[in-house]
Amino acid sequence: MTYVGHSAPDARRADGEERASLKDVVAAYVGLTKPRVIELLLLTTVPVMFFAARGVPELGLVVATVVGGTLSAGSASALNCVYDRDIDEQMRRTRRRALPRHLVSARAALVFGLMLGVVSTLVLWFFVNELSALLALGANAFYVLVYTMVLKRRTTQNIVWGGLAGCFPALIGWTAVTGELAWTPVVLFLVVFFWTPPHTWALALRYREDYANVDVPMLPVVAPARTVARQILAYSWVMVATSLLLWPVAGTGWFYPAAAVVLGAVFLVEAHRMLGRTAGTESLAEIRPMRLFHHSNLYLSLLFVSVALDPLLTR
């Protein structure tokens, strides 16, 4: 197995083994960027570009924004992995990452993360615009310096305020097309902001023992499941209400509000059901928090797809 940042393995190994080793290293570096997180972030960037353009935006602009956004998100994730490698090694959910498995050295991962950050800023600056580049750089810095290094291990509100970094793609998608901020992307920013606690707390409820073992005070670690479910429900109602604000603020067609009402109703039903399942029990098998987690992914994905489709279907 090849270890990045250490001496190279014996060159006399069989070709097949060398290829497998290279594959492991490439996979390790890709893993540092947390591709699933990037997918979700891009899903809140590209649809906003369609909405800002009131149709199909210029392909080259979309490609540059996607590349720059991907590199920026990958940079933040890689730097997060470097800082959190001590707790990642102890948690079931994260112990298979590259740093806990020593597939990549901490120094190499740090250099990799910083390089991605620099390249992403340059791509957005020269091929999109300065405002989008600064927003991406600000989101990266906030995620690493504020959430990862300050909030995550100190407060139960870590993900509430730390989640601000994940809201920036909505602003970046808008500014990439228009070159300026407006109330429309702010509403979508707030939708993601209120979506983040239900999404993350459902996952944290599933892995609360992991977080407890490494002294990360996620809300499910310090509060009963029923309290967590109530908080999730409260944020869910605010999230759905905020999503409906886009209709009057942005002057959407009929498609978006119809989709927002249906998707919001389905999500709220699931949030109410999870609260009901917490009555008198702390059993995760009965509460089934991952149902809400998967619903949250589907909700956000379809909501932003409806943002992209609205100007195409109702113009």
φ/ψ region of 207 (left if φ > 0, alpha if ψ in -120 to 50, else beta) reads: alpha
At 179-205, the pLDDT tens digits run 999 999 999 999 999 999 999 999 999
pLDDT tens for residues 109-134? 999 999 999 999 999 999 999 999 99
Do 15 and 67 fall within a single domain? Answer: yes
222 and 119 both lie in a single domain: no
Domains: count for the chain = 2
61 plus 75 within the same structural domain: yes
Same domain, 114 and 236: no
Domain residue limits at 109 = 1-179
Say whether both 163 and 38 belong to one domain.
yes
User: What gap in Å lies between CA 152 and CA 284, rounded to an integer?
Assistant: 23
Confidence at residue 23, expressed as pLDDT on a 0 to 100 scale: 82
Both 119 and 266 in a single domain? no
Q: What is the mean pLDDT of each run of 10 residues along the chain (315 residues)?
A: 37 38 86 89 94 96 96 96 94 89 93 98 98 97 96 94 94 97 97 97 94 94 96 98 97 96 98 96 94 96 97 86
CATH of residue 126's domain is 1.10.357.140
Regarding whether 241 and 175 lie in a shared domain, the answer is: no
Q: In 84-207, which residue ranges form alpha helices assigned H by DSSP?
A: 85-88, 106-127, 130-141, 158-162, 168-178, 183-206
Domain's final residue, options 179, 207, 236: 179
- Cα dihedral: 176, 181, 184, 188 (round 10): 70
